Amino acid sequence: METAHILEELAYDMGELPREAIEAAIAKRGQIVPYLLKILEDAVDRTDELIEDENYQAHLYAIYLLAQFREADAFPFVLKLISTPGDLPHAILGDVLTEDLSRILASICSGNIEPLQDLIENPQINEYVRAAALTSLVILVGCGLQPRLPILLYLKTLFNERIERKPSFVWDTLVSSCCDLYPDEVFTEISEAFSEGLIDPSFITLEEIAKVVMERKEKHLFTLFQKAELIEDTLSEMEKWLSAYNN
């Protein structure tokens, strides 16, 4: 399949998964990457159009494919797309924001976690984007791309005035991220956050966290190492979305 045809097939939702075009894009990785990056660059420049045209999906396919390719040049464009104010990131990405953004960020950041930290600590950023950035750090640890202790100690600093002290999904995700990394070094900070009412107990409870601390660290972290994953196959990712939509 020619590159122009691939891009045409990926551009709009025609009611079925463009499997052949996805497979062809993966097979032509070296040729297709510059076009996918251009799609993201254009998406940054015309976010209003993306929101108005619900059938346009080229930017989503570009993001998944570039994440599969571990294309670091995609990172700045994705950061710009998700740093738009308010609910715009959800309007641009749909459910990808809450379901896969963390894995996408981990796949394309190429070890550069400072922009992720900037997202996490910026109160102007959508809380689900900030939460995805938090989770991406955990995924990087689980995939062996970042060491556990420095990441956990960074998360510990967030409890001390580096994020606004009011209940939010950011706080809930911060605590659950600490739990995924085994929260022995931050249990005091977590307890204080609960005592201040910063954590939604329907999301996670202090009792659940205490049970985690009672587990063997090695066993708990082995579970993280087994379940953490990057974006590996765009076709299977898109089939997952199609299955969820049909159900």
Q: pLDDT band for 16, please (50, 70, 90 cuts).
A: confident
Same domain? 133 vs 220: yes
Q: How far apart are CA 130 and CA 140, in angstroms?
A: 16
Same domain? 95 vs 165: no
Same domain? 65 vs 138: no
pLDDT digits (tens, 9 = 90+) for 189-239: 999 999 999 999 999 999 999 999 999 999 999 999 999 999 999 999 988
Residues paired with 56 in a beta bridge: 12
Query: Residue 53: left if φ>0, alpha if ψ -120 to 50, beta else—which one?
Result: beta
CA 158 to chain centre: 19
Same domain? 66 vs 85: yes
pLDDT digits (tens, 9 = 90+) for 112-148: 999 999 999 999 999 999 999 999 999 999 999 999 9
Let me know if residue 112 belongs to a domain. Answer: no
Same domain? 218 vs 121: yes
The reported pLDDT for the residue numbered 240 is: 84
Q: pLDDT band for 241, please (50, 70, 90 cuts).
A: confident
Q: Structurally, how many domains does the chain consist of?
A: 2
Let me know if residue 111 belongs to a domain. Answer: no
Range of the structural domain that residue 235 is part of: 1-100+231-247
The residue among 40 and 51 whose pLDDT is bigger is: 40
Let me know if residue 185 belongs to a domain. Answer: yes
245 pLDDT higher than 70 = no
User: What string of DSSP letters covers 194-215?
Assistant: HHTT-S-TTT--HHHHHHHHHS
